[in-house]
Amino acid sequence: MGILNVTPDSFHDGGKYTSVEAALRRCEEMLSEGADLVDVGGESTRPAAEPVPEAEERSRVVPVIEAIAKRFDQPISIDTMKSGVARAALESGASIINDVSAMTFDPLMLDVPQGFGAAVVLNHMRGAPRTMQQNPGYENVVREVRDFLSERVRLLASLGVSKDRIAVDPGIGFGKRLEDNYTLIEHLEEFDVLGCPVLLGHSHKSFIGKTPGLENSDRLHPSVAISVYALLKGASILRVHDVKATFEALRMVESIRKSGFQAPGA
């Protein structure tokens, strides 16, 4: 999943793709590099981010989604917590709702997927983007995140959204301490019990820069390393900025795993 932020303030690439033309060029680049789908966002959800009015968010994403849908066949995801933005995006050509609040921020969001047959990404977040990193704490982060996501999956299922249309995201960096992020990635396979594809959104996040020895990293190589580790832990979808580097690393791992090579005498 290639990240396309059409925002002026996203932490990694804010301001680069705010015009439709720039967004289309970036989309084409990511797809040529190996992205299977593109996630379009019009509101930054970085820690301490200020909320964006719905009309402004909608005006950022709709023209971009319309342009992408006209030119490319790959699925488009809308990264939003607002039902009005999600509806407008789906009407414009998106087919996936990626809601970092797991559809808790806007209760009307629960009514949106079925009307469009849309797929859904449910992300765990403790608090809201503006406050989520203010002293988060867990007794057992894997169990607590898994239980929350399990409840949201059951709720969506009761509304007619089947598990094959739901992906779950443990929410790296969304109200998590450094060690919580490590623990969630290390135990990613424990989310398989939910019966949904697991998505990991870790790319270039601040916990990488808080890792000893990586304080001055540009976060590219650590992000790719996490992608490879997450693949080996069973992740189905990797939400990344650096599509080319990630695709090449995953292709190498998959080629080795599929080779079936047996050493002499093995």
Q: What is the DSSP string of 169-211?
A: E--TTSS--HHHHHHHHHTGGGGGGG-S-BEEE-TT-HHHHTS
- Quote the pTM value: 0.91
Please tell me the predicted confidence (pLDDT) of residue 18: 74
Written as one letter, the residue type at 230 is A
Q: Residue 126: pLDDT band by 50, 70, 90 thresholds?
A: confident
Mean pLDDT of 144-159: 97
Residues tagged active-site? 205, 239
State the alpha helices, DSSP H only, in the chain.
20-33, 54-71, 83-92, 112-116, 141-158, 178-186, 206-209, 220-232, 243-258
What is the tens place of the pLDDT at every residue in 57-115? Answer: 999 999 999 999 999 999 999 999 999 999 999 999 999 999 999 999 999 999 999 99
What is the tens place of the pLDDT at every residue in 167-225? Answer: 999 999 999 999 999 999 999 999 999 999 999 999 999 999 999 999 999 999 999 99
Please tell me the predicted confidence (pLDDT) of residue 265: 58
Q: Give CA angle at 154 (151, 156), nearest 5°.
A: 110
